[in-house]
Chains A and B, each alone.
Chain A
């Protein structure tokens, strides 16, 4: 599978005044030899939402940890809010908010206490602090539970509190590592609306990581698909979808064991390309799905391959994802998902 040239702008981002985040060729090897980042570059314009999309172990959290100064790259460089993350960590820290992949709330403190301490750390005090805390709790629907110890919150409530803690000091750049994982669909939709509103009203730059293509599609102005420690493709959701000319054909097989043969049969059909296998189904692309389907079905029948279902769909971010990291799904799974 071809690996496309990575971010077009990232490397050339010498004029970073309108770029809130620039990362250039980040490499990170963990003790024990795992190469988590392998030359990752990206650039995020001020006031926009940028999504890092990728399978487990792709290096998304590692990227976020480096950009937030929690971790250090072995080589490469990065600037956040205009400051170098290695040379000027304390300037970066004052400018950012960080919401880690795992909820990081103090379970022995109430929601309000968690938020207040976080605010005080950034210099908010007294009335101003109280007002900000109340406003945030109100806005995300935690006001009622505010004086309960956070250890008694549901996972979703902890996640909301967690995100508020990343926002309390009105950061310029917000890092959200899988913000909606573990939320119910309603809470997720609410949070999406909230994230959009924040980015718009506070001219906040947001870098978020996600497994949900829908989330990236809905929120992000630009998406980078990360795999094995580097960006394999980057662009706006529309650009990425546009790169995949035509429709997706999905053929579900009655007997999964024959998959490789199916691929062989389909690959030689005119007008059908990018044949991939995924979860017992075969995916292919065609300029016009409607015309290709009968041809595909006829060819499969000739080859004696039983088909359970066949569908045609307009391209989605799913297809982009599949095209770039689909084949590595299994490999990525094997690498494990610890941390």
Chain B
């Protein structure tokens, strides 16, 4: 009970600080919007190739961009942890009755909510440039849920890196050298049928790809492919739990260094 209250207290702190800089949302959307519009225009006719199962690249691309944006939101989360460390704010929490897991999940809740907002904005923009969600509201809901889970997984991992390495540069490194390649090793931009074989194999183990698959689980049919949604969703949930646990353990690594 106390743990839950603490989690909400911590989430409340991050939400309040976030609400003081609402322009951050706009800023964080610049990159996904550029991808959505530029790639959308550049590859418009790629759907004429077999394998996309849709006549509109916007329909294909939008769930991918939503997932990618969620991935990066999570990836940057460690920056918040590093700045809390630098300011001594985290040390103060660590000698208080707040549990380590509340510190992580509180932050994840805030980032998850931001991901919901970002996802809805991107979905709206996608629809404006021609994307269609044949699965209707259900498809949008599972896409957003998958995006939130993706944020949680990579957010928690980013926090763990932040606690172990304690430098902002390391977070930048993770984003550049891990998340960017992860994006191209997935079906965000390209249909699996058209990928080189090895990329297709790698992408099967890429959680970003799971989220994208969930988001596209109703290509032309009106109803979702629930078995796909549930299996990929279970995978994402499991990874989110493991990543959160890892991040919680990383406090130990930090405390051993001070």
A residues contacting B by CB (< 8 A) are 30-31, 65, 68-72, 90, 93-94, 96, 98, 100, 102-109, 113, 117-118, 120-123, 149, 165
- Inside 8 A of B13's CB, which chain A residues have their CB? 106, 109, 113, 117
Among B6, B20, B258, point to the contact of A70 (Cβ < 8 A): B258
Binary per-residue interface labels of chain B (85-99) against chain A in the complex, 1 for a CB within 8 Å, 0 otherwise: 001110111111110
B residues contacting A by CB (< 8 A) are 2, 5-6, 9, 12-13, 16-17, 20-21, 87-89, 91-98, 255-258
Question: Quick check: B9 and A121 within 8 Å, CB to CB?
Answer: yes
Question: Quick check: B88 and A107 within 8 Å, CB to CB?
Answer: no
B80 to chain A, nearest CB (A): 11
Bound-state Cα–Cα, A65 to B92, Å: 11
Question: Quick check: A31 and B257 within 8 Å, CB to CB?
Answer: yes
Question: Quick check: A72 and B89 within 8 Å, CB to CB?
Answer: no
B165 to chain A, nearest CB (A): 13
- Inside 8 A of A70's CB, which chain B residues have their CB? 91, 94-95, 255, 258
B24 to chain A, nearest CB (A): 12
Question: Quick check: B97 and A94 within 8 Å, CB to CB?
Answer: yes
Q: List 17 A-B contacts (CB under 8 A).
A: A31-B257, A68-B95, A69-B94, A70-B94, A70-B255, A100-B92, A104-B87, A104-B89, A104-B92, A106-B87, A113-B13, A117-B12, A118-B96, A121-B9, A121-B93, A122-B96, A123-B2
Helix, strand, loop or mixed for chain A's interface?
A: loop
A-B CB pair tally, cutoff 8 Å: 68
- Inside 8 A of B16's CB, which chain A residues have their CB? 109, 113
- Inside 8 A of A31's CB, which chain B residues have their CB? 256-257
Bound-state Cα–Cα, A109 to B94, Å: 19
Among A90, A93, A98, A108, point to the contact of B17 (Cβ < 8 A): A108
Question: Quick check: B91 and A100 within 8 Å, CB to CB?
Answer: yes
- Inside 8 A of A109's CB, which chain B residues have their CB? 13, 16-17
Helix, strand, loop or mixed for chain B's interface?
A: helix
A12 to chain B, nearest CB (A): 28
Question: Quick check: A65 and B258 within 8 Å, CB to CB?
Answer: yes
Question: Quick check: A104 and B258 within 8 Å, CB to CB?
Answer: no
In this complex, what residue of B is CB-closest to A31? B257
Among B6, B9, B97, B257, point to the contact of A93 (Cβ < 8 A): B97
Question: Quick check: A121 and B88 within 8 Å, CB to CB?
Answer: no
- Inside 8 A of A100's CB, which chain B residues have their CB? 88, 91-92
The 6 nearest A-B residue pairs measured at CB: A104-B88, A108-B17, A68-B95, A104-B92, A98-B95, A102-B88
Among A90, A113, A117, point to the contact of B97 (Cβ < 8 A): A90
Bound-state Cα–Cα, A291 to B97, Å: 61
Bound-state Cα–Cα, A117 to B8, Å: 11
A121-B258 contact, Cβ under 8 Å, with A100-B88, A109-B13: no
Question: Quick check: B9 and A104 within 8 Å, CB to CB?
Answer: no
Question: Quick check: B17 and A106 within 8 Å, CB to CB?
Answer: yes
Question: Quick check: A121 and B96 within 8 Å, CB to CB?
Answer: yes
- Inside 8 A of B256's CB, which chain A residues have their CB? 31, 72
Bound-state Cα–Cα, A327 to B244, Å: 50
A119 to chain B, nearest CB (A): 10
Bound-state Cα–Cα, A93 to B2, Å: 15
- Inside 8 A of A96's CB, which chain B residues have their CB? 95
Question: Quick check: A105 and B89 within 8 Å, CB to CB?
Answer: yes
Name 4 extra pairs, CB < 8 A, besides A100-B88, A109-B13, A117-B13. A70-B255, A104-B88, A106-B13, A121-B9
- Inside 8 A of B258's CB, which chain A residues have their CB? 65, 70-71
